[in-house]
Amino acid sequence: MRVTTKGQVTLPRSVREALGISPETEIDFVEDSGRFYIVKIGEPKMTRKFRKFRGIASAKMSTDEIMSLTRES
């Protein structure tokens, strides 16, 4: 794993999946006896724009119908 000039690294998919880390998830680094651990400290926050749509889409809806729900009127 390589650190970028901005100090960023890409967490491998297997690590993200094992820790349940998705975009916007808050994490922290905890040090214990010279070792550092990644700890998930929160769930991703949904944006207000899409919060009202959570859980209303079903498999019966087409992609176009689902996308139309997310478009502002």
Domain-wise residue ranges, the chain: 13-70
pLDDT given for residue 4 in this prediction = 95
Can you read off the two tokens belonging to residue 26? 């808050």
Q: How far apart are CA 24 and CA 45, in angstroms?
A: 7
Q: How far apart are CA 38 and CA 1, in angstroms?
A: 15
pLDDT given for residue 24 in this prediction = 81
pLDDT given for residue 44 in this prediction = 61
Can you read off the two tokens belonging to residue 59? 């498999």
Tens of pLDDT along the chain (73 residues) come to 899 999 999 999 998 888 888 888 888 999 999 999 988 886 666 666 666 777 776 667 788 887 888 886 5
Instruction: Give residue for tokens 């070792």.
Output: 35
pLDDT given for residue 73 in this prediction = 59
Please list the alpha-helical segments (H only) found in the chain. 13-19, 48-51, 63-70
Q: How far apart are CA 48 and CA 70, in angstroms?
A: 12
